[in-house]
Amino acid sequence: MATFTVDGKHYEAVEGTNLLQAILSQSLDLPYFCWHPAMGSVGACRQCAVIQYQDAEDERGRLTMACMTDVQDGMIVSVESAHAKDFRASVIEWLMENHPHDCPVCEEGGECHLQDMTVMTGHSVRRYRDKKRTWENQDLGPFIGHEMNRCITCYRCVRFYQDYAGGKDLGAFGSRDRMFFGRVEDGVLESEFAGNLVEVCPTGVFTDKPFAQHYTRKWDLQSAASICPGCSVGCNTFASERYGELRRVHNRYHNDLNKYFICDRGRFGSHFVNSQKRIRHAAIKSDDGVFEYGDVNAALTRALENLRSDDVVGIGSPRASVEANHALRQLVGEENFCRGLSESERVVTDQACSILMKGGFRVPSVSEVEDADVTFVIGEDISNTAPRIALAIRQATRNVTYEMAKTANIPLWQDAGVRGHAQHERNPLYIAASNTTRLDDIAEATVNATSDGVAQIALQIASQISGVSHENAFVQSVAEALLAAERPLLVTGTSSSDSNVLNASAAIAWALRANGKEAALAIVGSEANTFNAVVTCEGVTLSDALTRMADGARAVILENDIYRRAPADVVDRALSGTGGLIALDVLENDTVAKASVVLPAASYAEQTGTFVNYETRAQRFYQVFQPENDILPSWRWLSSLASRIGRTDASWATVDEVTRSALAALPGIDATLEELAPTKDFRIEGDHRIARQTHRYSGRTAMDADVSVHEPKAPVDNETPYSFSMEGQNPGDQNGSVIPYSWSPGWNSNQSIFKFQDEVNGDLLGRSGGKRLFDVPSEPDVELDKEFDFSVTGVTRSATGGLVPFPVHDVFGSDELSAQSWPVAKRSKGPYVLIHPTDASALNAIPGTGVRSEALVGSFEVVLDERVQTGFVGVSVGLNGRTEIPDEGIELVVDPEFEPRQLGDKRVIAKS
Amino acid sequence: MSEAALIPALSPEEVAEIEAEISHLPDRQSAAIDALMIVQKHRGWVSDESLSAIASLIGMSTAELDGVATFYNLIYRQPVGRHVISMCDSVSCYVMGADGLAKDLEAKLGIRFGETTADERFTLLPIVCLGACDKAPTMQIDEDLIENVSADKLDDIFEKYA
Amino acid sequence: MSLLDTKPLTGRVEEVGGPVFLADYEAGGGYVAARKAIGQMTPSEVIDEVKDSNLRGRGGAGFPTGTKWGFVPPGPSPDGGVKYLVCNGDEMEPGTFKDRWLISNNPHSLIEGMLIGAYAIGATKAYVFLRGEYFEPKAKLAKAIDEAQAAGYLGNGLFGTDFDLDLRIHSSGGRYICGEETALLNALEGKRAQPRNKPPFPPASGAWGRPTIVNNVETYCNVPSIIEKGADWYRDLGLTEDAGTKIYGVSGRVNKPGLWELPIGTTIREIIEEHADGMQDGYHLRGLLPGGASTDFLVEEHFDLAMDYGTIQAAGSRMGTGTMILMDDSICPVDMSRNLQHFFAQESCGFCTPCREGLPWIESLLLDIEEGRGQPGDLEILDQNAQYIGAPGNTFCLHATGAIEPLQSALKYFRDDFERHIVEGKCPYRTNGNA
């Protein structure tokens, strides 16, 4: 450790730490712009100047940029010296020459890092007399607004977009005081991480366009700690509300998971909460088939009539909370409970669970993914199914650049130096996939195969590792690289619905273990709570449940459009045969339309609950706001029904009780609610609740004045440590995992997060939230290979004529709920097929035209992909409201009536 | 179909010249500036279409290559006239009266700096020190360095450039 | 006694009476030094000889050349990778015109100097980074490279050894900052020419992340004679503590502007009065920039100083490139400062704040003052900006530091002129609206 002195006080840091980072880690204030905790230093903005003294005798010192300086033992610096302060004020004065004074109408106002730094430096009087430079802005698509006049040229955007996230279509153009950051021409930003520009930009150049539709200041938002419902990674988010609408989602730091960045499905996919399709009232279907809304008692009465039947099945959901699934299972009994997974999902998810529970392989957190030195992605298009992990893999391929930098004595935080020295060197990444992926650009080698082919290749790699020699060069090089690796990583998932892929991936991990290498194995699921299957046993499969329904059984369907889970004709039979269907859901869908009782379910933002992510990490999301109308959390509807029929074993007063009950019902798992997250009784020192509203939340007495001039009483929260008001505290240094938004005095922007970390890039004070339900077994089970069947069980998809279909997932549109979020809907493609150019020309199908098939619903746009094998066709999942891909070959014919979907949003926020 | 549409974004000759540059470099992207200059030599400027074609030829994104192209003074991203007059506006020429000469040039050509004459004969641009300061003021027309320029010599100088 | 004994850089050109190509170069003892270095000396002996000669970089910064070469890890790289030798021929410092002349007239001396330098550091690839506007020099250098290649001075197995050298010309896209050695390396890699942070220093990690030496054209041209005639001879050429000759130049209102190779340490007055034949009639010399646009003004009191690194530095300026720009009494110091700051603001790469935003502000203030819109307090703003922008380390590279040198000295030596502009609300040098 090195001891260094800042303005006469002594601090400690690891020698060689970046000085700016070390100063911030002490929670001291020092303004900066271009440095970013995840991206290091480049020395562009010159804002973090401090005085560095030679020794104790040196009274004058030398101005130096903290971000470009190493901490050395005995170092003496001053942040407060007049010269340093004057210089920092000058930097702001230079930046302000051209920065518009449009804060009142800027989306960023009130949480602008530039505002904060301006106030912090004390610059306030304008001396520059010349005109400000102006720019034409660009239309960057439905997610991101662009206002270049505000740019202070810190280069963070392009460093994030190009260097960190691998995006190709955003650049830095021009030079001197005419630097432009944007695209070559107007158009949708292609990267699925573009939304992070909103948080990376220190001012209002790149803004959240959907959020900007209604100007809302950060201080006027009501927020809580949340978990992204978009996929199985479980990124931590801040979700924020105003006027009863979910207004936006921001990244919430989690040390092991998303750290500083989330994907655009997560950021922009939550507007389904405000959708026109929201079910807001309880309804019963009248005899003539029309829904009658609004009579909750009638709905409950009808629901109870159904539940009194002796043949009731309950169909749960991988997108509903642990609590909701548990409540349903308790209500109908395990023997009548189905998890709501499609047949193929069920098989592959069970296999995933089995590998997780019995395999004893190390399951990597997202941070651990970043540490890998050799990565093999096996049959999963991770950029579309778990984008945050893809971003982490991209960082993993840069580990060698840090090794090289160390050898060359280049500080690891010196971003440009590290990159320049390493040139094109990367850690090996291998990809076996059925189509082009957005990680191909950094892959050492790729191989094209659909899932069963991928499984075969993976098995060959496993056997090559075990000493059997194969001729395939890809197999040889992957096996060799994995064996040579210090931290090998395997990434696969359930999206191909082929458990062979998982078996073969596990076989590689097993073979590596036999050779003394512990590989990390990540298996991603398809939905936010897919891995709830780990904690939930079911008595009936979906096909059995549907058969029972077709034979007249009543059903309770929890947050699940089963038309996405089973063939339409099978579902039709079940829904017409059932004696009565109680559907609980957030949005209207085809299943709900056929229910006899509909109960409006709270979205994730309107309730507190738990999701289990791909690592089996159970994480708490907290209610952000009180929903209006009849909306209640699903578990509460079910609990309320149970209590009316005297079922105390299935009714609870608070969500904490449900979670405890769910955890207790888990076989072989020893986790308590307290280990997961603070409970409802958690209080900040001084017996304070955590205020969801900021201390300057405005309009509380007036915001509903158009309805009533009486100030409504703030709702009482009996279920969480939060309050629905300004009363309470921001938990600050006591527990960073439950802060409802990131704010600290003088730091209104998201940059304030360092105030809640034990050090910059360290864990949150109090630790990041959640707990893994299964930890890595310290001793691997040596008998495992006897218990486990690592073989590939034949080819699952074969060409019996036509092209063999395989599923293609899309980050925008494949996921059910986020597809209903209007910005994502604008960004989504229409249904499409991926097809090799040879097959396309054989069909006379040109790109951009449409094809259809009897086996598929609707028309599909033709998209060429050289990496799709001939004889195969990738079929987009979910974009036509369907997720099942036929097992057999399909005949495609050109559809002359097809009209391609227009992408993008022509509205530009400002045009100068 | 317009004539422009018939011209490919990169000619085989240009591709061959770019490939020759690449062969002397450790990677394809390093030829970015050479490639831009080669295309400009053939066409006078670098169009969006050529820019994209170069980008894919050397394995760079169009945005990244345009970032390079817009950084350098000598790469034109807009069409120029048949001849480009680059007049030195740096200090040695300034001392020898370049500011007055610049006004004379604008008047003679009837255009401002940064503009092209209506007949597309000349584009007038400022340029930094041409390294012939002992013969100031100087200018460069296309590849020719012209020394000791004065207003009364302009007609003679321009004659050569149809 | 040959002219080459006193004018190693230009003597042969003078003898031949024009550009020296291979036959003339060889006839004057060309490539003897390269043959000696590569055939008879070890790389470290070459470096030691250059160190002993006290040759300092002629690009402006004056860093000892042999010392710089010594920073390159000797011998073959452990990873088998290549090392690079680069010539900075991106002559864009306003008022500087020596490298154009050297490349055009004595290209083989550059090639030979690079050959010796490459051998000394173990580089097998070399690039001449040449200004994009230098069409004629490029053609002549290309011809010389072809000649050298054909004669076996470039290529593989040189002088009967296993030493190889491939030498190429890179034409710049045009940008003053490319003259900064790390920005030059980014440009060579086909990137935006933004300077790089040091460390890593180029001798450790330069072009394409490999050990790289970058030197100026004139620096390399000095090397052959040092190897041929020895460090002692070279050191003795200088009149003061600096070694060798220097190409000095004068531009402005003198009778015979031009370039002369003179012993380093010749006085300013001698260069102007004797070689440039004094001021033109009717013009009086008020001040000068001794070594290009990015050096501090010197005034009458300095004219008897020796033009060498130490003396000029002690006088508060830099010898820079040794090509001086004269400001006569018809020139308005405010307007000349505006012209200079316009150049530096235009040529800022746009990376760091003080340079990108500070220089245009200075230019704008100078224009205001020149055109009669100056306000009380403007000079204090200029002083403050000069202080904050000009201090080395406050900006990412030395571009802005160089920009501030002529400004801070103009504010010091010609402050009355600045004040008069503001007080009178007009430029006293302008009559009838003309400068």
Domain-wise residue ranges, chain B: 3-69, 83-159
User: Residues of B with CB below 8 A from A424's CB?
Assistant: 27
Q: Residue A374: is its pLDDT beyond 90?
A: yes
- In the CATH hierarchy, which fold is given to the domain comprising B83-159? Glutaredoxin (3.40.30)
The β-bridge relationship of strands A337-338 and A312-315 is parallel
For the CA atoms of B152, B153, B154, B160, what is the dihedral angle to 10 degrees? 150
User: Residues of C with CB below 8 A from A95's CB?
Assistant: 353, 357
Q: Residue A735: is its pLDDT beyond 90?
A: no
Q: Which of A184, A187, A195, A181 is nearest to A143 (CA)?
A: A195
Q: Residue A535: is its pLDDT beyond 80?
A: no
Measured CA angle at A168 (ends A164, A169), to 5 deg:
120
Q: Residue A703: is its pLDDT beyond 50?
A: yes
Architecture of domain C245-328: Roll (3.10)
User: Residues of C with CB below 8 A from A202's CB?
Assistant: none
Q: Which letter, b or e, does each residue of B119-130 get, where b requires 16 or more Cβ atoms within 10 Å of its Cβ?
A: eeebbbbbbbbb
Mean pLDDT of A629-642: 97
Please tell me the class of the B3-69 domain. Answer: mainly alpha
**Could you tell me which chains touch chain B, where touching means 3 or more CB pairs under 8 A?**
A, C
User: Residues of A with CB below 8 A from C361's CB?
Assistant: 94, 97, 128, 130
What is the model's pLDDT at position A708? Answer: 86
Could you tell me if A128 lies within 8 Å of chain C, comparing CB atoms?
A: yes
Residue A455 structure tokens: 């499984």
The β-bridge relationship of strands A554-558 and A312-315 is parallel
Architecture of domain C333-424: Up-down Bundle (1.20)
Distance CA A104, CA A106 (A): 6
| Distances, alpha carbon A664 to alpha carbons A535, A773, C318, in Å | 10, 12, 80
Burial class (CB in 10 A: 0-12, 13-18, 19+), A273: buried
What is the model's pLDDT at position B21? Answer: 95
Q: Residue A101: is its pLDDT beyond 50?
A: yes
| Distances, alpha carbon C407 to alpha carbons A129, A130, A671, C336, C402, in Å | 20, 20, 70, 10, 9
Residue C263 structure tokens: 């012993």
User: Looking at the partner chain, which of B48, B61, B70 has a beta carbon nearest the beta carbon of A169?
Assistant: B61
* pLDDT band for position A906 (cuts 50, 70, 90): very low
Distance CA A884, CA A106 (A): 45
Percent of chain A exceeding pLDDT 90 equals 82
Nearest CA in chain C to B27: C189
Could you tell me if B146 lies within 8 Å of chain C, comparing CB atoms?
A: no
Cβ contact, residue pair C435, B100, below 8 Å: yes
* pLDDT tens by residue, chain C, 435 residues: 688 999 999 999 999 999 999 999 999 999 999 999 999 999 999 999 999 999 999 998 899 999 999 999 999 888 888 999 999 999 999 999 999 999 999 999 999 999 999 999 999 999 999 999 999 999 999 999 999 999 999 999 999 999 999 999 999 999 999 999 999 999 999 999 999 999 899 999 999 999 999 999 999 999 999 999 999 999 999 999 999 999 999 999 999 999 999 999 999 999 999 999 999 999 999 999 999 999 999 999 999 999 999 999 999 999 999 999 999 999 999 999 999 999 999 999 999 999 999 999 999 999 999 999 999 999 999 999 999 999 999 999 999 999 999 999 999 999 999 999 999 999 999 864 444
Cβ contact, residue pair B48, A424, below 8 Å: no
How much is the ipTM here? 0.96
What is the model's pLDDT at position A217? Answer: 95
Q: Which DSSP string do the residues of A520-579 spell out, in sequence order?
A: EEEEE-SSTTGGGGGT---SS-HHHHHHHHHTT-EEEEES--GGGTS-HHHHHHHHHH-S
Residue A831 structure tokens: 């249904």
* pLDDT band for position A782 (cuts 50, 70, 90): low
For chain A, positions 659-688, list CB contacts with chain C under 8 A: none
What is the model's pLDDT at position C433? Answer: 42
Mean pLDDT of A812-822: 95
Measured CA angle at A536 (ends A530, A539), to 5 deg:
115
What is the model's pLDDT at position C432? Answer: 46
**Could you tell me which chains touch chain C, where touching means 3 or more CB pairs under 8 A?**
A, B
How many Cα atoms sit within 13 Å of A88 on the Cβ side? 29
Percent of chain A exceeding pLDDT 70 equals 96
Could you tell me if B40 lies within 8 Å of chain C, comparing CB atoms?
A: no
Residue C332 structure tokens: 């308005």
Domain range summary for chain C, segments of one domain joined by +: 3-236, 245-328, 333-424
Cβ contact, residue pair A95, C364, below 8 Å: no
CATH code assigned to C3-236: 3.40.50.11540
pLDDT tens column, B11-63: 999 999 999 999 999 999 999 999 999 999 999 999 999 999 999 999 999 99
What is the model's pLDDT at position A477? Answer: 97
Contact B120, B111 (CB under 8 A): no
Nearest CA in chain A to B77: A174
Q: Who wins on pLDDT, A912 or A864?
A: A864
Mean pLDDT of A544-558: 97
Considering all CA atoms of chain A, what is the largest pairwise distance in Å, rounded to the nearest integer? 93
Cβ contact, residue pair C349, A172, below 8 Å: no
* Chain A residues touching chain B at CB-CB below 8 Å: 162, 168-175, 183-185, 423-424
pLDDT tens column, C57-99: 999 889 999 999 999 999 988 888 899 999 999 999 999 999 9
Cβ contact, residue pair B64, A173, below 8 Å: no
Cβ contact, residue pair A184, B66, below 8 Å: yes
Distance CA A373, CA A386 (A): 20
Contact C149, C142 (CB under 8 A): no
In order of their start, the domains of chain A are 2-96 (3.10.20.740), 346-532 (3.40.228.10), 804-895 (2.40.40.20)
- Among the ranges given (A347-351, A760-764, B40-44), the one the predictor scored with the smallest mean pLDDT: A347-351
- Phi and psi at residue A83, in whole multiples of 5°? -65, -45
Contact C180, C399 (CB under 8 A): yes
- Among the ranges given (A252-256, A552-556, A796-800, B47-51), the one the predictor scored with the smallest mean pLDDT: A796-800
* pLDDT band for position A903 (cuts 50, 70, 90): low
Residue count (chain A): 912
* pLDDT band for position A550 (cuts 50, 70, 90): very high
Which residue pairs from B150-155 have beta carbons closer than 8 angstroms and sit at least 24 positions apart in sequence?
B150/B101, B151/B100, B151/B101, B151/B104, B151/B108, B154/B104, B154/B105, B154/B108
Cβ contact, residue pair C100, B131, below 8 Å: yes
* pLDDT band for position A793 (cuts 50, 70, 90): low
